[in-house]
Amino acid sequence: MPTYFIGYKAPLTEFDKCVREPYRLIPLEQRHLTLLYFGFLKKHEIEVLLKKVKSVKAERVTVSFNSLTALPSLQKPKYLAAIPDYKGRNRLVKIRESVEGLFADFTKEKYEIFNPHVSIAYTRSKPTIELQKKASKSIKNCKRVKETLVFDRLLVFRAEKGRITVIV
């Protein structure tokens, strides 16, 4: 069953060099930053959502990503994700807040706190101490990495079977 969200394409590449086995890089075309998660939507809801997104004048925002983190936590490091610097995070929070009301009828957030990030790599390995050490090493190796993206268009994404596609 597909789910939907709005956000930005985020083709970050600089953090790739820090990723080691057993992590696998997420393909560049699948990297994104989620602003609002909607979950499953009915056909008529999708049509309304698409119209609303087209009506939004997206603010052009420059965001620098300057560190790598483990998600959901270092104890269970399933993903390695790039996170924005303080200024970029605040900009993304403001953009999210500015469009939240428009999409309130659709939003089914899974998390209470908005934690902007771009997942770079994932693993299916069990969360062992060894995996925690490997995640920590990747994070440490990325301390000096910085990459900047310009986001200028809100997109609607469809996620199904581990793949995302842009539908607007």
Mean pLDDT score, 17-39: 95
Residue 45 has pLDDT above 70, yes or no: yes
Predicted local confidence at residue 41, as pLDDT: 92
Mean pLDDT score, 20-39: 95
CA distances from 41 to 54, 141, 145 (A): 17, 40, 38
What is the domain count for the chain? 1
The H or E element spanning position 119 is strand 118-122
- pTM of the predicted protein model: 0.92
Predicted local confidence at residue 109, as pLDDT: 65
CA distances from 166 to 29, 50, 126, 159 (A): 10, 11, 31, 9
Mean pLDDT score, 70-86: 97
CATH code: domain of residue 97: 3.90.1140.10
Predicted local confidence at residue 110, as pLDDT: 61
**Boundaries of domain holding 50:** 3-166
Predicted local confidence at residue 42, as pLDDT: 92
CB atoms within 10 A of CB 130: 11
